[in-house]
Copies of this chain bind each other. A is one copy, B any other.
Amino acid sequence: ARSYNITLLPGDGIGPEVVAVAKDEKLMGGSALDATGVPLPDETLSAAKDCDAVLLGAIGGYKWDNNEKHLKPETGLLQLRAGLGVFANLRPAAVLPQLVDASTLKKEVAEGVDIMVVRELTGGIYFGKPRGFGTNDKGEDTGFNTEVYSASEIDRIARVAFEVARKRRGKLCSVDKANVLEASMLWRRRVTALASEFPDIELSHMYVDNAAMQLVRNPKQFDTIVTNNIFGDILSDEASMITGSIGMLPSASVGESGPGLFEPIHGSAPDIAGQDKANPLATILSAAMLLRYGLGEENAAKRIELAVTETLNQGFRTGDIYSPGTTLVGCKQMGDEVLKTV
């Protein structure tokens, strides 16, 4: 058996609980701010760059909400994504048969939903320059950001998305706002051009406002979605809520090479932190994605995923996915039950 070097970043709020299997932990987020004055210490970034994969819990909390930008936990996360060059963020949103009732959508609409959102993660309006605060010609304060994509940034994320679609049901929907934004027009043009390299994939295009509607109207129409950083932020959260159990959903962020970043899609939930109430399954499933996409250990990934399914079949539920007739457990016990069945 090979041994790997994994950097664990428990983060803030319920983060430390959900990654309590921790080994080689480094500080990041609000906890790093409190201890070192910056949200992503150099030491954390170099450890992350030097290891095989990074597992992150969650970051942020009320305490740091009004901090200036460079002192926000979120800024540390963006620096980490950029520092690792993980431009492709894979966010599955699948409705598990055991949890179909957890969705607010009607059973016949939610049942069988299985979407993968491929979100561009290191470009667009999150990182575009110029950005900042200014004064306009009337002497008024302004705030501004730049949405910008280059051809190669679009090509590389589109390529990942085509490949992902190929391993799934062969359908790719590219989401943009090409009827208004130049950045989206280039996006659509490049994605369309790449399609000839993937003749087996059925490519479609959809405007972002329509996509936000279609996810509610008929989420089953989607297989793989590819979109920019900000639209991906919005749509992947919407898609995840359609499953009814965001406490269950993992994510993987990968680059051309180097360690990937794996994290649950839920936030740090400061309101329930430290109460043993959080659902650790999203983090456990992120560890499975880490094995699959980060280390190429498909079998190990499958074993973890099966253990999660088995634990759900045994009826164990944390509060967020509890329904009458199942067994309510805390964060720690849920983790233990999965470990037992692995």
Spell out A's residues near B (CB within 8 Å): 60, 69, 72, 74, 78, 104-106, 109, 125-126, 128, 131-133, 136, 138, 140-152, 177, 179-187, 208-210, 212-218, 230-231, 233-238, 240-242, 246
Contacts and interface: CB of A to CB of B under 8 A. Distances in A.
Contacts of A237: 209-210, 212-213
Given A104-B106, A146-B147, 8 more contacts: A104-B105, A104-B216, A133-B182, A141-B151, A143-B148, A215-B238, A216-B238, A231-B234
A267 to B, nearest CB: 8
A235 B237 CA distance: 12
A131 B182 contact: yes
Contacts of A212: 212, 234-235, 237-238, 241
A226 B187 CA distance: 29
A149 B142 CA distance: 6
A47 to B, nearest CB: 25
A104 B242 CA distance: 11
Nearest to A149: B143
Given A144-B148, A149-B142, A209 B234 contact: yes
Nearest to A74: B179
Contacts of A150: 136, 138, 140-142
Given A106-B105, A216-B242, A145 B209 contact: no
A213 B184 contact: no
B235 A186 contact: no
5 smallest beta-carbon distances between A and B, as pairs:
A143-B186, A213-B241, A144-B148, A212-B238, A209-B237
A41 to B, nearest CB: 20
A94 to B, nearest CB: 16
A210 B269 CA distance: 12
Given A180-B126, A181-B125, A210-B237, A218 B104 contact: yes
Given A209-B234, A216-B238, A234-B208, A151 B142 contact: yes
A180 B235 CA distance: 17
Contact of A185 (B69, B182, B187, B213): B69
A152 B141 CA distance: 8
A147 B148 contact: no
The residue among A143, A147, A187, A208 with the most chain B CB atoms within 10 A of its own CB is A143
Nearest to A136: B150
Contacts of A181: 125, 131, 143, 145
